[in-house]
Amino acid sequence: MITVEHYVAVSALLFVIGGVGFLVRRNVLVTLMSIEVMLNAANLALVAFNRSRMAHAASQTYPGPSHTGQVFVFFIIAAEAAEVAVGLAIVLAMFRLRQTVRTDDADLLKN
Amino acid sequence: MGALGLVYFYACAALAVAGALAVVIAKNPIRGAMGLLLLILSVAGLFLALHAQFLAAIQLIVYAGAIVVLFLFVIMLLGPSSSTPSDGRGFATRAFGGGLFAIAGLGALGATWRAMGAWRHLPMASVEPGFGGIDAFGGVLFADALVPFELSSALLMVAVLGAIAIARGRQGLASLSRAELEVARTATAGGDPTGPEAGVFSHEIDLKEQPR
């Protein structure tokens, strides 16, 4: 019997892996991909809780099961597409400026 | 939802964790992007198991179809310099930060486990017909979430403009090709752009002097 806790455990594990990758890795591209992993983990938890509690919160205007978590995930995916577009543009601009994709070398604002 | 559901869940979960590990561990960003693809496909499978069919489709279209491809574009644009050679500089600090985060995250998971008394199972609600389908989801999206939906289109618009502005750099007119400069000059001078060869610029492009 698969319960919500199974999904939340997987989600927490994915989130921790993504967070460790974000903190440890130094390649900007890998850092951005780690953020994707963390957002996917959050999406999974939201959908799982929505599945578990869909009958508990009635929609204001639409009759039927609640889709609040799924609507959240929909907007997270939209925001994430925007984030990746801007983030990769920044990576390209930084590469043109410093010929590198290491986060260590992005120190133009230092000192 | 018997043994088959269990197997399906554990297969998807294991593949998702393997994909996430590949993202974090891979030296070559291309392999990392492939790991991300594996993670995205597995999470889409988990969405299907949670009766979120529409989101599973969106996940495949937006993530696997757009975001991973965008990553691959940038990785291939950067070429070999997209993978950074590893050196030990500052590794201790970063490992300390990562370890602290892992301990905090897994500790929170374990503490929740203990507080709930070995997974006091929250029951899954029985599935109502149409849950997660495009009909019900669209009904909610265009009734309750209409304003955020419209705002998200503005967000995407601004993001596209920002991405173009950032990726183009601050070269301004210097980045324009000669033909584009001609168009700009004609437009600002108020001249008549509809000359005999209006819209044909191929004769003006000198490949040797083409500014980068």
Among B32, B125, B137, the residue with its CB nearest the CB of A53 is: B125
Q: Is residue B210 part of a domain?
A: no
Among A9, A74, A78, the residue with its CB nearest the CB of B155 is: A78
Q: Is residue B207 part of a domain?
A: no
Between CA B1 and CA B49 the distance in angstroms is 10
pLDDT bucket at A101, cuts 50 / 70 / 90: confident
Q: Is residue B108 part of a domain?
A: no
The domains found in chain A, sorted by start residue, are 4-98 (1.10.287.3510)
Least confident range from A2-6, A53-57, B33-37, B125-129: namely A53-57
- Tens of pLDDT along B33-91? 999 999 999 999 999 998 899 999 999 999 999 999 999 999 998 888 878 776 667 78
Q: Please tell me the predicted confidence (pLDDT) of residue B60.
A: 94
In sequence order, the 6+-apart residues with CB closer than 8 A to the CB of B94 are A23, A24, A26
Q: Please tell me the predicted confidence (pLDDT) of residue B61.
A: 93
Q: Please tell me the predicted confidence (pLDDT) of residue B119.
A: 53
Residue A70 near residue B52, CB atoms below 8 Å? yes
Domain of B66?
A: 1-79
> Is pLDDT of B11 > 60?
yes
Same-domain pairing of B3 and B74: yes
Q: Is residue B111 part of a domain?
A: no
Across the interface, whether the CB atoms of B84 and A65 are under 8 A apart is answered no
Residue A31 near residue A103, CB atoms below 8 Å? yes
Burial (CB count <10 Å: 0-12, 13-18, 19+), residue A45? buried
Q: Is residue B73 part of a domain?
A: yes
In sequence order, the 6+-apart residues with CB closer than 8 A to the CB of B168 are B175
Phi-psi label, residue B129: left if phi above 0, alpha if psi -120 to 50, beta otherwise: beta
Q: Is residue B153 part of a domain?
A: yes
Least confident range from A42-51, A61-70, B4-13, B101-110: namely A61-70
> Is pLDDT of B109 > 60?
yes
Q: Please tell me the predicted confidence (pLDDT) of residue B138.
A: 87
Bigger pLDDT: B174 vs A86: A86
Looking at every residue in chain A, the average pLDDT score rounds to 86
Same-domain pairing of B75 and B140: no
pTM for the model stands at 0.81
- Tens of pLDDT along B140-170? 888 888 999 999 999 999 999 999 888 876 6
Q: Please tell me the predicted confidence (pLDDT) of residue B122.
A: 64
Q: Is residue B86 part of a domain?
A: no
Query: Which spans in A1-111 are helix H?
Result: 4-24, 28-52, 68-98
What sign has the CA pseudo-torsion B23, B45, B41, B9? positive
Q: Which residue of B96, B114, B131 is the best one to mutate when testing the A interface, meaning the one whose CB has the most A CBs within 10 A?
A: B131
B114 at the A interface (CB within 8 A)? no
Average pLDDT in the A23-40 region?
A: 93
> Is pLDDT of B13 > 80?
yes
Q: Which residue of A3, A22, A35, A40 is the best one to mutate when testing the B interface, meaning the one whose CB has the most B CBs within 10 A?
A: A40
B70 at the A interface (CB within 8 A)? yes
Q: Is residue B92 part of a domain?
A: no
Q: Please tell me the predicted confidence (pLDDT) of residue B136.
A: 84
B178 at the A interface (CB within 8 A)? no
> Is pLDDT of B174 > 70?
no
Count up the domains in chain B and report the number: 2
Across the interface, whether the CB atoms of A67 and B140 are under 8 A apart is answered yes
Last residue of a domain, one of B36, B64, B79: B79
